[in-house]
């Protein structure tokens, strides 16, 4: 199947081959090489939730490969008149060759994939999964460390509602990473996910203290507290701003340790970090372009040449 709804849709072998494809596509992603592999193809960008990077990087990826994009959001369309997801997706099936969907409801991407024939890429379903983000995260980690295996990755913040860390933790344990989960008690990684991660044989530890685990980390992956998913604003206020990193927190960290964040940041990363050698979050956001190019090509059955000429 060519849908990507969770990381289970990709084998380890496929993940590595998509990362290799993405690496060769970097000059195309930068606009240095013209490679119209997706000429004549149409992507429907279906965003029922806010997005900056995911929407824009999919659009750039498609356009740099010669394709075109239909941009959809739930405001300004018939969703506001009460049209169902099922009905809207029937139109998309006829108007586009592939669709990217972001939706506040967990399960909405799978529901869409089941409802129509064109490939679906899940760009975030509520507090569920965000597999295309995971692909660019893995790309960023491999770019910095040369491997995905045996790393100590610290995941920090909202591990309960954060879909990026749900998909990423799953993928990392498949490559033998050791995970340290840092969150307030109320935002722990859901038990069923932790059980699943442990069943892979990986070492998983949990703590509420970020500063204790910085010296051992190869990667620190910060996340935003997902305000919009809290049933109660007071509960959000109790944990808002709980984890913050600044440049001096990098003292005593391992050589080559990188700080990542899917962004947007709302205080978790002090701007003093931006100019440190540890900061990788802006590079990480750029990496969305080559990895999404490779994912679009895979789902559309288009092979990426083994050599991309400069």
- Residue 281's nearest CA partner among 124, 137, 163 is 137
Nearer to ligand NCD, 130 or 280 (CB): 130
What residue has token string 């999964």? 129
**CB-CB contact of 138 with 177 (8 Å):** no
User: Of 119, 128, 262, 290, which one interacts with ligand NCD (CB under 6 A)?
Assistant: 262
Under the binding rule (CB under 6 A), the answer on residue 124 touching ligand NCD is yes
Query: Residue 23, exposed/middle/buried by CB under 10 A (0-12, 13-18, 19+)?
Result: middle
Task: Give me the residue label for tokens 């806010």.
Answer: 50
Among 6, 134, 152, 164, binds ligand NCD (CB under 6 A): 164
Per-residue interface string for the shown chain with ligand NCD, residues 201-230, x marking contact by CB under 6 A: -----------------------x------
Q: Based on CB atoms, which residue is closest to ligand NCD, 100 or 263?
A: 263
Per the CB < 8 A criterion, the answer to whether 226 and 124 are in contact is no
Q: Is residue 130 close enough to count as binding ligand NCD by CB under 6 A?
A: yes
- Under rule CB under 6 A, which residues in 3-62 are in contact with ligand NCD? 53-54
Long-range contacts formed by 55-58: CB under 8 A, 24+ apart: 55/100, 55/102, 55/123, 57/136, 57/285, 57/288, 57/289, 57/292, 58/100, 58/121, 58/123, 58/132, 58/288, 58/292, 58/296
CB of 249 to ligand NCD, least distance (A): 20
Helix (H, G, I), strand (E, B) or coil at 144: helix
Q: Edge to edge, what strands does the sheet with 204-207 contain?
A: 204-207, 178-182, 152-156, 219-222, 258-260
Question: Among residues 67 and 124, whose Cβ is nearest to ligand NCD?
Answer: 124
Figure out which of the listed residues 163, 170, 280, 292 binds ligand NCD, where binding follows CB under 6 A.
163
Under the criterion CB under 6 A, does residue 167 sit at the interface with ligand NCD?
Answer: no
User: Residues 64 to 93: which contact ligand NCD by CB under 6 A?
Assistant: none
133 near ligand NCD, rule: CB under 6 A: yes
Minimum separation from the CB atom of position 142 to ligand NCD (A): 19
Residue 265 interacts with ligand NCD (CB under 6 A): yes or no: no
Residue placing its CB nearer to ligand NCD in the complex, 35 or 101: 101
How many other CB atoms are there within 10 angstroms of residue 81's CB atom?
A: 6
Binding site for ligand NCD (CB under 6 A): 53-54, 124, 130, 133, 163-164, 224, 262-263
């Amino acid at each position: 199947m060519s849908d990507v709804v969770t990381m289970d849709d990709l084998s380890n072998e496929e993940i590595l081959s998509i990362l290799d494809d993405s690496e060769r596509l970097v000059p195309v992603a930068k606009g240095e090489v013209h490679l119209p592999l997706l000429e004549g193809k149409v992507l429907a960008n279906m965003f029922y939730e806010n997005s900056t990077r995911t929407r824009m990087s999919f659009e750039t990826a498609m356009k740099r490969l010669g394709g075109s994009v239909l941009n959809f959001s739930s405001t300004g369309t018939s969703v506001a008149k009460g049209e169902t997801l099922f009905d809207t997706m029937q139109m998309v099936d006829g108007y586009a060759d592939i669709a990217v969907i972001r939706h506040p409801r967990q399960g909405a991407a799978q529901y869409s994939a089941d409802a129509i024939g064109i490939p679906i890429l899940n760009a975030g379903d509520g507090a569920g999964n965000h597999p295309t983000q995971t692909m660019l995260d893995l790309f960023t980690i491999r770019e910095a460390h040369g491997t995905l295996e045996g790393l100590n990755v610290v995941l920090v913040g909202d591990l309960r509602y954060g879909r990026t860390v749900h998909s990423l933790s799953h993928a990392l344990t498949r490559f033998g990473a050791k995970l340290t989960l840092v969150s307030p008690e109320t935002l722990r990684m859901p038990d069923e996910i932790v059980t699943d991660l442990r069943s892979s044989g990986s070492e998983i530890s949990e703590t509420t203290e970020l500063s204790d685990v910085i010296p051992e980390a190869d990667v620190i992956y910060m996340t935003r507290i997902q305000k919009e998913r809290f049933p109660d604003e007071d509960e959000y206020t109790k944990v808002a701003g709980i984890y913050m990193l600044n440049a001096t927190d990098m003292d005593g960290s391992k050589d080559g340790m990188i700080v990542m964040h899917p962004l947007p940041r709302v205080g978790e990363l002090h701007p003093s970090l931006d100019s440190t050698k540890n900061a990788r979050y802006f590079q990480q956001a750029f990496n969305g372009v080559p990895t999404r190019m490779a994912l679009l090509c895979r789902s559309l059955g288009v092979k990426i040449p083994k050599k991309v000429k400069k």
